[in-house]
Amino acid sequence: MTANADKSYVLFPLGKKRFALPAEVVTELARPDSVQTFPHQTPLLSGVLVRRGRIVPVCDVAQVLVGPAAPPRKFYLIANCKRESLQELTAVPVTGECELASAPFAPLTGREPQYISGLLAIGEETIEIVVLEKLVSAEVPA
């Protein structure tokens, strides 16, 4: 199976692993900014950023994708996330520079979590394509 040549992905690092988001949902890669916090009970959310007058929730998906040992996050990948028929910007902290790429698909094993929609094969590396909507509601492993 090969990826559509027009389909691009933003590859983002979380520690030693890289993951992919469809490029069409990514709006920008932002420099570190001060995350502002207030009391809440939603898992994964570490606070909000103010970007161009909008309030953007920060969803620390590293806890789900690589566990608590992820190195400090350096940038925010800001992407559109669909919630109840509404597009909402969400900031995903990442640990390094991102890359735009198109690559052939690797076959799914069938054991992937629900938030993985496909695999990209880039050289020796297999990169999981994440579905942000499903990832942000995933449970944090104990």
Q: Can you tell me the distance from the alpha carbon of 98 to that of 13, in angstroms, rounded to the nearest whole number?
A: 7
Q: Which of 2, 4, 41, 109 binds other proteins (CB under 8 A)?
A: 41
- 88 forms part of the interface with other proteins (CB under 8 A): yes
Distance of CA 116 to the CA centre of its chain: 11
Return the number of the residue (84 or 124) whose C-beta is nearest other proteins.
Answer: 84
Residues 89-118 that bind other proteins (CB under 8 A): 89-90
- 31 forms part of the interface with other proteins (CB under 8 A): no
Return the number of the residue (37 or 114) whose C-beta is nearest other proteins.
Answer: 37
Return the number of the residue (2 or 85) whose C-beta is nearest other proteins.
Answer: 85
Question: What SS3 state is found at 133?
Answer: helix
Q: Can you tell me the distance from the alpha carbon of 119 to that of 125, in angstroms, rounded to the nearest whole number?
A: 10
Closest to 61 measured CA to CA, from 138, 117, 114, 142? 138
For residue 24 the two structure tokens come to 């069409």
- 121 forms part of the interface with other proteins (CB under 8 A): no
Return the number of the residue (80 or 126) whose C-beta is nearest other proteins.
Answer: 80
Q: Can you tell me the distance from the alpha carbon of 131 to that of 6, in angstroms, rounded to the nearest whole number?
A: 19
Q: Can you tell me the distance from the alpha carbon of 66 to that of 51, in angstroms, rounded to the nearest whole number?
A: 27
| Contact of 29 with 75, CB cutoff 8 Å | yes
Q: Which of 23, 29, 30, 48 binds other proteins (CB under 8 A)?
A: 48
Q: Which of 67, 82, 112, 114 binds other proteins (CB under 8 A)?
A: 82
- Shortest spacing between CB 76 and other proteins, in angstroms: 14
Residues within the interface to other proteins (CB under 8 A): 36-42, 45, 48, 50, 53-57, 59, 81-90, 136-137
